[in-house]
Amino acid sequence: MKFTPLLLLLFIAFQGISQGIYTETEIAAQDLLIAAKKQVLLGDVDEAIDIYKKLLDEHNENAAAYELSRIYVKKEDYSTALTYAKRAHEAEPKNEWYLIQLTDILAFSENFEEAATLYEQFTKQEPNNEFHYLQSSFYYLKAELPKNAIKVLDDLEKNNGITEQIIQRKFEIYDVMGKEKDALKELEKLNKMYPTEPRFLHNIAGYLRTMGKENEANKVMQKILEIDPDDETALLFVNSTGKNKDANYLRSLVPVIKDERIELDKKVIELIPYLQDFAEKGDPELGQSLLDIGGILDETYPRNAKVKSILGDIHFYNKDLPQATNFYAQSVDSDKSTWTVWAQLFITLNITEDYKRMMKYSEDAIDVYPNQALAYYYNGLALLELGELSEAEMSAVEARMISGNNPNVIPEVLLLESKIKFKQKKYEESLKLVSEGMEVSQQPNPRILDHLGDVYWIMNEKDSAKESWKKAIKAGGNPAVINKKINGETDLNN
């Protein structure tokens, strides 16, 4: 949770009295404020709290309430932090710092609607300050109130005029709401303002295409070619219009793929819908065409990390996992800056149970991403499977510390720790960890349910084990493997 720090505290606290001579009361309050800040800097937070509370009781100093709120946030006492933040804001509703502090805490508590309302109220005080409108809109979206978000952005547009950022936000909201016509109207606003700017026409054409309106999209692309006859994307688009996302069309792209005058990114953008289509439907002919196109890309750009990662994806969805692994590995060997490729590499290594390579690449990933919890997780997983339990335990501890209770990571880390304890025959501890993983997992996790069944089985709770394994299959676990456990065909003794 990130909170905006207060700079120049004394200026903010005493700006109201800076025009005249300080009274004794004001000087006493200022002395207390300085003393409290000093204690914070010295690390004596409890003493600082006492001083700030004295400031509130004896001088009703709003800055003290603000500072108390900040301190209690650091102490993770969000209820008390909220109380003081509200007190500061209610005393000085025009103070922007107090507003930000309060809304940050509200957002952390998932009270998004109240945060949005506060920012919307603030727009009345500063009608030309774009930040407050955008924050209000953002929090209304988080509160699942898209109509309110649109209203705030409409108000911003009336006060400040049309800007690309406002249009983009409104477009995205309408699109999520399924209001395609309204979304398209927003894109058309920018085109009316800048009729000769191809970028805005490209946005319209692209959206029309997602709506399935190929003919209308083609007309927009023709307008782009009237402005710029050499526009590569428009040429590529026009050539593809009216054709299905199938193998024949992909084959027709071979000359375009080979043409080095056309930017690689434009070729990649053209291929992505077909790769997504193949991932969903698994059509073998389309898969072969993608392999052919991928091979040509690789010949044209033999050392390009992006091409290697695309080839990895193509082979992954073609279920050729060894080749997918090789291409993902080549990609990260060439360019280590894209974590998503590393993650995909680890997924394939895990599926293929290539733990020696997983250990090697996880060590490399830790060097590049020392704050990436999953790098430590996969390192720990590899070490576990290779029988290095002590080192695996150390990596698991690092993963847990770095994850910061990330709900997407911590369940897997707890599962890893549970498996380590299981290997160490510490079954009670293993059960506790995997149960905790179940609790924090946002949805049924087949890996956690499968391992929970293993733990129950080894602890002679056969019925609970079978029930957990059945749930694992229902959640997407491998039925061939798990059914062997249910039928007692797998030896779980380690």
Q: List average pLDDT for each run of 10 residues in the chain, which is 494 residues long.
A: 43 46 62 66 73 73 81 85 86 86 85 87 85 89 90 90 88 88 91 89 84 84 88 66 56 72 84 88 86 90 94 94 96 94 96 96 95 95 95 94 86 94 94 92 89 93 93 92 90 77
The pLDDT value given to residue 369: 94
Picking from 204, 213, 162, 161, the residue whose alpha carbon sits closest to that of residue 185 is: 204
List, in order of start, the domains of the chain with CATH numbers. 1-109 (1.25.40.10)
The pLDDT value given to residue 28: 63
The pLDDT value given to residue 5: 43
For residue 403, what are its two tokens? 């994850």
pTM: 0.52
CA distance 435 to 446: 13
Q: Is 2 left (phi over 0), alpha (psi -120 to 50) or beta?
A: beta
The pLDDT value given to residue 14: 45
Looking at residue 67, its amino acid is E
User: Is residue 72 within 8 Å of 2, Cβ to Cβ?
Assistant: no
For residue 411, what are its two tokens? 């369940």
User: Is residue 161 within 8 Å of 149, Cβ to Cβ?
Assistant: no
The pLDDT value given to residue 36: 63
The pLDDT value given to residue 364: 96
CA geometry: angle 209, 211, 217, nearest 5 deg: 35
